[in-house]
Amino acid sequence: MSPLDPPSATDALHDRRTAIAALGADLRALVEAAVRTGAPDEVLLLAAKEAQHLTALLTVRPRGRAEVPEVDVFPGGIRMYSPVTGAGSPLAPPLQIETVDDGAVVGTCTLGVAHEGPPGYGHGGVSALLLDEVMGWACSYAGQPGMTIELNLSYKRPVVLETPLRVTARVTERHGRTNLVHGTIATTAAPRTVLVEAEAVFFAPAPDQARALFPSLRDPA
Ligand SMILES: CCCCCCCC/C=C\CCCCCCCC(=O)SCCNC(=O)CCNC(=O)[C@H](O)C(C)(C)COP(=O)(O)OP(=O)(O)OC[C@H]1O[C@@H](n2cnc3c(N)ncnc32)[C@H](O)[C@@H]1OP(=O)(O)O
């Protein structure tokens, strides 16, 4: 089962997610084209007008800042607009979450030029983004969805763009509501060569605290 399209989805929900993902894919292609283009100035200005038209088209019944989208399962499930995993997000690579049998969570993605830091390599903040997300999923899979309270990174080698990446995370220790998590980024071609390593502390809020933090959470228990 893919956590990004659970079998419980109704046809309408599936159709909505499919449409959101279609728009997300084209927006990502647009973002990548926009940051790589060598088109002349007049073409950029024409594209800007077209982008304004698209923005107007989509500004219909916008959801509230803290509202959980109807297409999402929160916490611990599909997030269509996540800047990391969201198929509907132009910011997301997007990263696909998978689990493996021994308790580690594995995510795969490929970064584009839009995610560049040093020329040809991924931005260090983007590596942190990928790790934070997959480490968060490791907590959810360990039964304690939580928020990052500390994240330490060691950048060992640059992360190459346009190369399939493998992001792994595993809960190593639990102390009450606090989980220590270890994470890595490698390429899928050389999974043992660690490019970035992370240690993090996640905190799983108690039900009352979760209700206060996330008012639209239906059943924090
Ligand atoms: C039931 C449902 C709950 C749902 C929650 C799900 C959320 C996940 C969502 C989607 C999953 C998909 C994946 C996403 C992944 C990405 C995650 C992120 O990006 S999260 C955004 C960035 N993080 C923040 O914005 C946090 C900001 N921090 C806070 O708001 C507070 O710190 C908060 C509410 C988390 C805790 O605040 P306090 O005041 O209640 O807690 P205090 O007492 O400070 O610490 C709690 C415990 O942690 C220990 N602690 C604190 N800092 C520590 C540290 N650096 N190292 C080790 N332990 C530490 C403390 O000693 C304490 O432990 P002792 O309970 O006493 O045993």
Q: How many CB atoms lie within 10 A of CB 144?
A: 20
**How far apart are the C-alpha atoms of 27 and 47, rounded to whole Å?**
13
Best of 95, 203, 209, 214 for a ligand 1 pocket test (most atoms within 8 Å of beta carbon): 203
How far from 163 is each of 28, 116, 119, 154, 194, CA to CA, in Å? 17, 13, 14, 20, 14
pTM (global) more than 0.95: no
Concatenated DSSP letters of 31-78? HHHHHH----HHHHHHHHHHHHHHHHHH-SSPPPTTPPPTT--TTTS-
CA of 179 to the centre of ligand 1 (A): 9
CA dihedral 146, 151, 155, 160 (to 10 degrees): 30
CA-only gyration radius of the chain, Å? 19
In tens digits, what is the pLDDT along the chain, a chain of 221 residues?
345 455 566 899 999 999 999 999 999 999 999 999 999 999 999 999 999 999 999 999 999 999 999 999 988 889 999 999 999 999 999 999 988 768 799 999 999 999 999 999 999 999 999 999 999 999 999 999 999 999 999 999 999 999 999 999 999 999 999 999 999 999 999 999 999 999 999 999 999 999 999 988 766 55
Strand (E) or helix (H) holding 140: helix 124-141
Instruction: Give all domains of the chain, ordered by start, each with its CATH number.
Output: 1-221 (3.10.129.10)
Contact 198, 135 (CB under 8 A): yes
ipTM: 0.91
Q: Is 99 in the pocket of ligand 1 (CB under 6 A)?
A: no
Residue nearest to atom 29 of ligand 1 (CA): 149
**How far apart are the C-alpha atoms of 67 and 80, rounded to whole Å?**
13
Q: How many CB atoms lie within 10 A of CB 26?
A: 12
